[in-house]
Structure 1
Amino acid sequence: MGFKDQVARDIQNVFLDSEFGEPVLFGSIGMDSIELLAVVDRDMNELTAYETAEGTYASKLTLYMRQADLGYVPVENQLVYFALAGEDTYPYIVRRVAAEMGILTVEIEANRS
């Protein structure tokens, strides 16, 4: 087994397993939302959401998911829909995307009231 094979196994069995990953819904215009496992980083982003206008604030999240599970790579400024499994989806804007070794890092932002 080579290094890339071991990394692929670790992604599936360690980083995005049911212990660290949580089921989420993710989709975009023209594509149905799909349920997949993702690590949702709320650390500091959601807790320190900055005020954008009176009565609103920006909610920011960073998602880590398998590129193979999603089936495409979102692009910056794309409108996507996100929710934890079992909740209603909410529109977010993709602010940054990185794809490395089969893992997508997607930063999303939404204005909330």
Structure 2
Amino acid sequence: MAAGGFCKLPNGTVVVALNLPSPTADAVAAVRVLVLAQNRARALTRLRNLGLRAVYLRGNAEPPTPDEITAVLHHPDGLIWRTAPDNAVPTVSTVPELWRPIRSLLRRPAPQP
């Protein structure tokens, strides 16, 4: 299960935002994933097809912000991520982290010799 939300756009498409635990063993604890799709079910299916099997959207507690919607609309794949902001810990830098394509999150690191 994941915290997140969605926003229906005027053209009928939906932007779904989810906070998920990182699928890799990196130091990244959680990621915020944005998906652009025709509806919520298709957005979740896109994530499940990438290997994120236990992804569900219950409610609309954390819908995407206008900046997040703009970011996913301007990405050719319509599927992006970045580390989830931790609201409990104030950050020193005010510069937000850049959005990355989902391929960079799911890419397997090369085995170490």
Higher strand share: 1
Higher helix share: 2
Q: TM-score w.r.t. structure 1 length?
A: 0.27
- Which structure carries more relative contact order (alpha carbon 8 Å, separation 6+)? 2
Q: TM-score w.r.t. structure 2 length?
A: 0.27
